[in-house]
Amino acid sequence: MTNPNKPTQNEVTASKESAPSANFIRHIVAEDLASNRHAGRIQTRFPPEPNGYLHIGHAKSICLNFGIAAENGGQCNLRFDDTNPAKESQEFVDAIKENINWLGFNWSGEVRYSSSYFEQLYGFAVQLIEKGLAYVCDLSADEAREYRGTLTEPGRNSPHRERSIAENLSLFTRMREGEFVDGLCSLRAKIDMSSPNINMRDPVLYRIRHIRHHQTGDAWCIYPTYDYTHCISDAIEGVTHSLCTLEFEDHRPLYDWILNSLDLESIRQVSDLSSSDSPYVLPQQTEFAKLKINYTVVGKRKLKQLVDEGLVLGWDDPRMSTLAGMRRRGYTAASLRNFCESVGVARSESQVDISMLEHALREDLDNNAPRAMCVLRPLRVTLTNLPEAIELSLQNHPKREEMGRRTVPLTPEIVIDRDDFREEAEPGFKRLVNGGEVRLRGAYVIRCDELVRDADGEIAELRCSVDLATLGKNPEGRKVKGVIHWVSATDGVPATVRLYDRLFTVANPESKDVEDFRTLLNPDSLRVLEGCLVEPAAASADSALSFQFEREGYFTRDTVDSTNGALVFNQTIGLRASH
């Protein structure tokens, strides 16, 4: 669902241009425009596989692909590379579209699918067979791995490599018609089994899978591989710059081989540029480093494992590195865009400290989140000489008057946080102590006169007197240093508050030295506090979702669980770094 309040593409671009970072791809694009390589066209694409939810690493790729296009007056397609229906679903398709919109970007035209090109892809495979550049191979998956060789030993030719063109065409047709069971044979490119690049050792182009596809239904029982599909889909869409992460660097020779082995005019005829007078130039693949952040995992298999094994509460669990989880936790789209811009785009892999991400988040929330008060661990306070409830007018943001003011009820019974009271004074403690004074945020100075204990001897209530001359004024003849937050005990709204810590206890849970990343999960990554009280203005249905709860941190209302009268706030981040 599109967010009506998201920034426009121009606003996103302007934000990027105001704080440019190291980005070698910008220079490549600028050079191509200067040389008129693509007749002044810039066309990118964001090509997710719909086999999971997008994560923080995808945010970098989204910002790069959509940003490069926007900065240069170009276009960016959204294309689902949906060639493996066994692991894909419509749920993932829908979630990906929603997250891209939320992040602040709009794709060009309609959503695209590689599956929409299945007929053209099949035709190009036939063309490769007719050129003697592809053959049907009967080796099993295990046999093919044995023939493939190793990083130090060349592979061996398949015994079916020299089949005639006519036989290969017949077998490939029979594959499409469903005559063969899964795994019985495959279509392979005929390149070089002795190549030092294993990706060039006769890679598989098509495999048999009798499985229903979420877009094409039962129309196909053979599916093209990602490597074969990706480059041709780029060419069909007229992509000029195919931006990929570094693990595809060794796949680039195959990307180029496939496109250069096909008839260029036949590609153009089925492409989006078929009616254009512009010269047709094949896309170029350029690789950049993935975004890796410490204390997180971004591998899809690991994220899926966390979900499937119930180690987290779904793909949108606020502890997850998925965009859905980060959004639910209260991360803002602007903070993620600014973070991706600040880390830049490099050619070499590196790990970014999570503090950079947290800094971008705090900076955005500090400037934009309205203030409110919430008491996490309530301790009842009776204001013995406050004659009746009064309404206070407090500013929503101390530095932004345009954000307005809110009404906060001060009643004879309030709650403060238990951590803000000590029965006996301690060195450096500047909050409320028995017999001492403290100021209530935006209200009066109060003095603790009496403690009320329960049957177990625990402090159940404080009885305090109010200095009625201190509303907006300092008391005369004495100095009160402490200021604490509070909420009306009678008008405050009950809420559940979730406090979050990092999901993993070590900086690099995806290290090659880690045998089982699940053993590194932080058992204290989630704490749930019941019986909290939040001021009414922060609980109303038409209020903002995210707040700075004064003196506690930044929190966002959980729109998933805040239903049927329940009110749930997720801790987004503390006021300052705690690690």
Whether 61 has a binding-site annotation, put simply, is yes
Whether 38 has a binding-site annotation, put simply, is no
* Lookup: tokens for 114: 């590689």
Other Cβ atoms within 10 Å of 388 Cβ, number: 7
Rounded to a whole number of angstroms, the distance between the first and last alpha carbons of the chain is: 36
Is the distance from CB of 374 to CB of 455 less than 8 angstroms? no
For 277, residues 6+ apart whose C-beta sits below 8 A from its C-beta are: none
* Lookup: tokens for 208: 């048999």
φ, ψ of residue 26 in degrees (nearest 5): -55, -40
Whether 55 has a binding-site annotation, put simply, is yes
Whether 160 has a binding-site annotation, put simply, is no
Whether 13 has a binding-site annotation, put simply, is no
φ, ψ of residue 550 in degrees (nearest 5): -55, 130
For 131, residues 6+ apart whose C-beta sits below 8 A from its C-beta are: 261
φ, ψ of residue 225 in degrees (nearest 5): -80, 165
405-410 and 371-372 beta bridge pairing: unpaired
Whether 58 has a binding-site annotation, put simply, is yes
Question: Where would I find the beta strands (DSSP E) of 468-520?
Answer: 483-484, 487-488, 493-500
Other Cβ atoms within 10 Å of 76 Cβ, number: 25
Residue-by-residue DSSP string for 253-270: HHHHHHHHHS-HHHHHHH
Residue-by-residue DSSP string for 344-412: -B-SS--EE-HHHHHHHHHHHHHHHPPEE-EESSEEEEEETT--S-EEEEEES-TT-GGG-EEEEEE-S
Measured CA distances, 184 to 23, 140, 222 (Å) = 46, 7, 12
Indicate the angle between helix axes 90-103 and 56-71, nearest 10 degrees.
60
Whether 238 has a binding-site annotation, put simply, is no
Whether 60 has a binding-site annotation, put simply, is yes
Question: Where would I find the beta strands (DSSP E) of 96-233?
Answer: 112-113, 134-137, 186-189, 204-208, 222-224
Indicate the angle between helix axes 226-236 and 252-261, nearest 10 degrees.
60
* Lookup: tokens for 287: 């690789």
Whether 57 has a binding-site annotation, put simply, is yes
Residues forming the annotated binding site for ATP?
49-51, 55-61, 245
Residues forming the annotated binding site?
49-51, 55-61, 81, 226, 245
Residues forming the annotated binding site for L-glutamine?
81, 226
